[in-house]
Amino acid sequence: MHPMLNVAIKAARRAGNVINRASLNLERLQVDRKQHNDFVTEVDKAAEEAIIEILSDAYPTHGFLAEETGEHNPGAESVWIIDPLDGTTNFIHGFPQYAVSIALSVAGVTQQAVVYDPNRDELFTATRGSGTYLDRRRLRVAGQARLSNCLLGTGFPYREDQDLQTYLKMFADMTAQCAGLRRPGAASLDLAYVAAGRYDGFFESGLKPWDMAAGALLITEAGGLVGTYRGEENYLDSGEIMAGNPRIFAQLAQQLAKYSKA
């Protein structure tokens, strides 16, 4: 295993411990509202601190792009992209679908990825060129060939500045085209599920790099494709992402390209 991935796993597990301890006492949780439907807790902040402490001890020259504290050491070639608790709204309610997401980008290319689900103790990892693993088991995207047979994941926009009406139309379109559509509420885990073959595909817009960076590498290293709704590569900047095996990816693009804002 790559040494940098090892350190990222240690950081993700430490954050998972912080989250699991806090989950035992949710009624005492201090919750702040960043904006409508956008919550942050002291758990998000403590988990992020734990991650950055471990990574910066190991790699003091690296930069960080993290959900709660933003950018550290701008201009660094190696940047860790961190979501300490993806699915905060689920976490606040005790709904067990949330994850820690950590990716390492070097000169703009994601090289390492960890998505850790502290509820199920599932650790999804990838190193560029070396495949994707769930614990020690090699993962492949599902082999489904037809969109009509697919189980897809998505997520709804939750902020007021996002276009819910367009999304509902897209949701209706896609519901008619596939076998099932799910929206559990933690994009990094949804992307890991595409890599594991639990979903046949995924699409969502209005995301941030820390929601997508790790999960996207998990998918490509498991043999899938990731892009914007048009199938283009600038998904991290555009905030919209679409993923699946190569055949499903092409069929998703036919349905979703008209909704692309990228």
Burial label, 77 (beta-carbon count in 10 A; 0-12, 13-18, 19+) = exposed
For residue range 87-126, list pLDDT tens digits in order. 999 999 999 999 999 999 999 999 999 999 999 999 999 9
Rounded to two decimals, the pTM is 0.96
**Contact present, 180 and 151 (Cβ < 8 Å):** yes
- The whole-number pLDDT of residue 27 equals 86
* Strand (E) or helix (H) holding 156: none
Q: d(Cα 164, Cα 158) in Å, to the nearest integer?
A: 8
- The whole-number pLDDT of residue 135 equals 94
Extended beta strands in the chain, E state? 31-35, 38-41, 63-66, 70-72, 78-86, 99-106, 109-117, 122-127, 132-134, 137-138, 151-154, 180-182, 201-204, 225-227, 241-244
- Give the strands of the sheet with 151-154, arranged side by side: 180-182, 151-154, 201-204, 241-244, 225-227
- Map out the domains of the chain with their CATH numbers: 3-138 (3.30.540.10), 147-259 (3.40.190.80)
Mean pLDDT by 10 residues, the chain (262 residues): 96 98 89 75 94 98 95 94 96 96 98 98 98 97 98 85 83 96 97 98 96 98 98 95 98 96 84
